[in-house]
Structure 1
Amino acid sequence: MKKRLVILLLSLSSCAWAADIKISVDREDGIYSLGEDAVWQIETVHLDEGDQAPQSAKYQLLSNGLQKLDEGTLEFSGGHASYSATRDDPGTLLLVVEAAGVEKAYGGAAFDPSELSPAIPRPEDFEQFWAKKRALADTIPLNPVLTEEASPVQGVQLWQLTVDNINESHVRGQLARPDSTEKKLPALLIVQWAGVYPLKKSWSTNAAEDGWLVLNIQAHDIPLYESQTFYDELKSGPLNRYNAIGNDDRETSYFLRMYLGCYQAVRYLTSRPDWDGKTLVVRGSSQGGMQALVTAALCNEVVTAAIAKVPAGSDQSGPLVGRKPSWPGSFYKTTGKDEEKVHKTSAYFDVINFCPDILCPTLIGMGLADTTCPAPGIFIAANEMPGPVELITMPSAGHKSTRLNPHAWFSREERVWLEKLGNGEVPLADIDE
């Protein structure tokens, strides 16, 4: 790949742990045409009085989050520096800057990302496999069990819910809705990010207060409200590295139960007499974003919108073409297993391969500096969707929202979408498909 690098010694300063390095690129969305320069401005912020900034910092430039293109040392004066680079093929660049006593800082840029494509074709029997799994799930009676409990929000009812899933497992979650209303309601399915943890009641009741019929489900078949010790023991025990459990066979992959759990949750919501029969939104972040997109594909006849922030699960075969895969990184989860089987299995759970079946309007937020769910895979997922997509790109944002690089841009747009959807409006309805 042709690359052009320019380093201006304007000064990057860094200091004690109280300070931060902030990297900003010269385009709000961080997206460029091939051959255009992306110019990063680098500065030290939150420097306390008396703190001494270092005179230098190390930097690396990565292609698609994986391959090192350049590295070196920047000499600083005055607290600022500038660095520029370009590329002549579709993909991303990630600038990584590290100085003594300060956390690494990241800044990203994307070049013609609409031209990025999957590393390998979708398995020929992908649709057939998932059609059979949906048919299997349809044969399982939901057997819902609702247990009402105290709600932290006045005017909102809250229940614990359990429904049946494949292999004698269960989907467990919170059901919340406005109290004492005869009105039929739009439905919101909330799906959870990675980890093993309890749910908070407010995660469902706050949305219900806004007029939604809300179902917030655990990603695992585990209780909702146990002690932290309980979840820690699961995390270090049977759910340790759950993202690699059974990953060498599509019939045993941990994500089979998780994905079909989302399917069962949608079955339950659409069976309720208080659903309005029109609006069903699925929403999640990270692993939850992965589940949201998969649900929009598996349930494309009823899901009317999907909202996914920093969605995981894409580009599991990315290393074959020099791209870092998103979490769970199945390409590398091969210890003690047949590598070829792991790679083959991952294709049946790769979000990219579900995206051609997503027909509804979709809102996606992504950080171009995200090293957990790198940008290339998310761009490819969006490219594969036939339905309308609004893509919020945050050039300096990582996987988590921070005081320095918050996900505020996405959060504002998410609120706009939810307000429209709750009122029966269709986001992106004016976009020609």
Structure 2
Amino acid sequence: MAHFDLPLDQLETYLPALPEPEDLDEFWAKTLAENSVLDLGLTVEPVRNGLATIDTFDVTFAGFGGHPVRGWLHLPVTRSGPLPAVVEYLGYGSGRGVPHEKRLWACAGYAHFVMDTRGQGADTPDPDPATGDVAAPGFLTRGVLDPHRYYYRRLYTDAARAVEAVRSHPAVDPSRVAVTGTSQGGGIALAAAGLVPGLVAALPDVPFLCHFQRAATFTDQPPYVEITRFVKLHREHAATVMRTLSYFDAATLARRATAPTLFSVGLMDRICPPSTVYAAFNHYGALRGVRPEHKQISVYPFNDHEGGGPDHEVVKLGWFARQLETTA
């Protein structure tokens, strides 16, 4: 394992052109509007978690197309008044797990919602309209020949609806909701930051789903290699694939974000190469005037895709507390 991407001084100024379809904003406005008229169908049921300081609730809400999406809502047992909330999205191939598995933000005194990932976790199926389409194994090329049928259209919409669901809970202060996640979860957090107005913060760690054009040709590691394998077999679809991906590039959607952000990056990360992370960071908020002092990135020079791990969690907790102080 060694540094293989651009030197750090070049990463810090790396600002590649990101291809944007002319109808990108219209595409997402229409997608979200079509789903916003659907009843949220929110159910919140208490569950036993074996923990003395955290209450956990099994949540179901209507995501894309009204499909039921599951999640865990964790709340501190001792609480008063509406709480700031953190919505967490998950890494590639994983679901919400068991109730006590992810609880950091609730331990710190916040509401913490862990969204299950459709088709990837055990609890949320993905009614797939792309059934019968050609695709490589995995999720990255599922429905990739049509942006309307692409898997991440459904997942990004779920992410936006999750914020809506959390904001509707009486224990949550709807004006102080943040998004976070690692790898795929970090990419989803960036997409949510660009699609959902009024977030108080975005905390993406070693984000996936960024700068597809570079990632697909720069790394041979999964999951990005799914794109390569697909186009290798279906050369005639190469341009179509890249056009579809341009609607879902988290670096592009992040240009529309307004919330302060804290990124993390591992400079030896071969799964999400540093240049793809910096493309998202350097473009973050560019269309909405996010000031440089509201953007921070923690760099871990000798780390791979684990990024800063538990050490970075300490950084995140301190940074988020400071953000809340400025908005109090």
Q: Which runs of 5+ in 2 are unaligned?
A: 125-134
Name the structure 1 match of 2:175.
278
Deviations 1:54-87 (A, max 9, x none): xxxxxxx85x4xxxxxxxxxxxxxxxxxxxxxxx
Name the structure 1 match of 2:23.
125
For the residue of structure 2 that corresponds to 1:392, the secondary structure is: strand
- Distance (whole Å) between structure 2 residues aligned to residue 304 and residue 346 of structure 1: 27
For the residue of structure 1 that corresponds to 2:16, the secondary structure is: coil
Name the structure 1 match of 2:208.
312
1:354 aligns with 2:253: yes
- Distance (whole Å) between structure 1 residues aligned to residue 221 and residue 9 of structure 2: 19
Could you tell me whether the CA contact under 8 Å between 2:140 and 2:227 is conserved in 1? Answer: no
Name the structure 2 match of 1:70.
none
- Distance (whole Å) between structure 2 residues aligned to residue 359 and residue 298 of structure 1: 10
Q: Which runs of 5+ in 1 are unaligned?
A: 1-20, 24-60, 65-91, 93-108, 227-237, 428-433
Q: 1:302 aligns with which of 198, 204, 208?
A: 198
**Aligned-pair distance for 1:240?**
4.7
- Distance (whole Å) between structure 1 residues aligned to residue 103 and residue 82 of structure 2: 17
Could you tell me whether the CA contact under 8 Å between 1:175 and 1:215 is conserved in 2? Answer: yes
Deviations 1:323-357 (A, max 9, x none): 44996436523234722211110101111111211
- Distance (whole Å) between structure 2 residues aligned to residue 254 and residue 326 of structure 1: 20
- The amino acid across from 1:257 in the alignment is R
For the residue of structure 2 that corresponds to 1:242, the secondary structure is: coil
Name the structure 2 match of 1:398.
304
Give the structure with the larger strand fraction: 1
Q: Cα distance 1:400–1:409, how it changes in 2: closer, same or farther (>3 A)?
A: same
Q: Cα distance 1:288–1:339, how it changes in 2: closer, same or farther (>3 A)?
A: same
- The amino acid across from 1:419 in the alignment is A
Q: How does 1:172-191 map to 2 (within 5 A)?
A: 172-179=70-77, 181-191=79-89
**Aligned-pair distance for 1:191?**
0.7
Q: Cα distance 1:314–1:366, how it changes in 2: closer, same or farther (>3 A)?
A: same
Give the structure with the larger helix fraction: 2
Name the structure 2 match of 1:195.
93
Q: Cα distance 1:110–1:205, how it changes in 2: closer, same or farther (>3 A)?
A: closer
1:411 aligns with 2:313: yes
- Distance (whole Å) between structure 1 residues aligned to residue 220 and residue 299 of structure 2: 18
Name the structure 1 match of 2:325.
425
1:264 aligns with 2:166: no
Name the structure 2 match of 1:155.
53
- Distance (whole Å) between structure 1 residues aligned to residue 316 and residue 9 of structure 2: 25
Name the structure 2 match of 1:340.
239
* Largest Rg, 1 or 2: 1
Q: How does 1:240-251 map to 2 (within 5 A)?
A: 240-251=137-148
Could you tell me whether the CA contact under 8 Å between 1:325 and 1:331 is conserved in 2? Answer: no
Deviations 1:387-428 (A, max 9, x none): 221011111110125xxxx5455333112123335xx3249x
Percent of aligned pairs with the same amino acid: 22
Q: How does 1:41-52 map to 2 (within 5 A)?
A: none
1:220 aligns with 2:111: no
- Provide TM-score, normalisation by structure 2: 0.84
**Aligned-pair distance for 1:203?**
3.9
Deviations 1:299-325 (A, max 9, x none): 1x22110111111011111279x7449
Q: How many residue pairs were aligned?
A: 307
Q: Cα distance 1:268–1:198, how it changes in 2: closer, same or farther (>3 A)?
A: closer
**Aligned-pair distance for 1:116?**
1.9
If asked which structure has higher relative contact order (CA below 8 Å, sep 6+), I would say: 2
1:379 aligns with 2:285: no
- The amino acid across from 1:348 in the alignment is Y
Q: 1:136 aligns with which of 11, 14, 34?
A: 34
